[in-house]
Amino acid sequence: MRIGIINYGLGNVGSVLNSFKFYRHDVTLITNPKGLETIDVVILTGIGNFNASVSRLKEFHFWDKLNEEVLIKKKPVIGICLGMQLFADVSYENALNNGFGWIKGKVIRINSSSIKVPHIGWNEAMPKNSKMFLGLQDNFFYFMHSYHFVPEDGDVIAATTKYGDVEMVSAVQRDNIVGVQFHPEKSQNNGLKFLRNCLEVIV
């Protein structure tokens, strides 16, 4: 199994690469869309602005190729943080922007007067019968975000997280598509085990 992490300049690819190398996986950075044809699993990371990520993926010609690999060829994909948010139909970050639409839903700002935004730090993911969380010491992961994904179909929700009075989706899964709002690569042993479980679930 060969794992490819898309390197488009807006993701924490170095730490993610090292996380997969920990279990001696065959993992590489993908710098051009043709490289997607040589791998078995796609990792889509992202840090920062939704619209900037969409623009960069299109600029480097990843956008249409990703749709082909994920939707037509059904290649497994794992989205991390903003990478998961890109699965949505739309995001309301700064302005209305279209995502891939792989999982129906929208990305909205965390809205509460009782908590700090962005949401930064360790928090608990509460799984909904998902094998991705099996064998973990606990379900605490590292978060860093101001916006969150609201899917239309509750059946795709693999885990939720409470932040103050807001309950957010922290993991989604549908067929060959998995996404997490937290950062497994920053979540120490739990993050490493979670990534290993993800591969077992979707491959």
pLDDT band at residue 200 using 50, 70 and 90 as cut-offs: very high
Alpha carbons 16 and 34: distance in angstroms, whole number:
21
pTM: 0.96
Which of 69, 148, 185, 198 is the catalytic position? 185
> Is the pLDDT assigned to residue 58 strictly greater than 90?
yes
Residue 148 annotated as catalytic: no
Residue 130's pLDDT is 83
How many of the other CB atoms lie within 10 Å of CB of 14?
A: 12
> Is the pLDDT assigned to residue 82 strictly greater than 90?
yes
Residue 10's pLDDT is 77
> Is the pLDDT assigned to residue 171 strictly greater than 80?
yes
Query: Which of the two residues, 114 and 87, has the higher pLDDT score?
Result: 87
Residue 145 annotated as catalytic: no
pLDDT band at residue 27 using 50, 70 and 90 as cut-offs: very high
How many of the other CB atoms lie within 10 Å of CB of 70?
A: 21
The partner residues of 88 in beta bridges, in order of sequence, read none
How large is the average pLDDT for residues 152-178? 97
Q: In angstroms, what CA-CA distances link 62 with 44, 115, 175?
A: 11, 36, 21
90-134 tens-digit pLDDT = 999 988 999 999 999 999 999 988 899 999 999 999 999 889 999
The partner residues of 106 in beta bridges, in order of sequence, read 90, 150
Residue 133's pLDDT is 95
Alpha carbons 175 and 55: distance in angstroms, whole number:
27
- Residue count (the chain): 203
Given a contact cutoff of 8 angstroms between Cβ atoms, the answer to whether 175 and 100 are in contact is no
List the structure tokens of 128: 């909904």
How large is the average pLDDT for residues 172-180? 97
6-18 tens-digit pLDDT = 999 877 799 999 9
Which of 81, 119, 145, 148 is the catalytic position? 81
Across 96-176, where does the E strand assignment appear? Answer: 97-98, 105-109, 119-124, 126-127, 140-145, 147-151, 157-163, 166-174
Domains and CATH numbers, the chain: 2-202 (3.40.50.880)
Residue 185 annotated as catalytic: yes
Strands 77-80 and 177-180: parallel
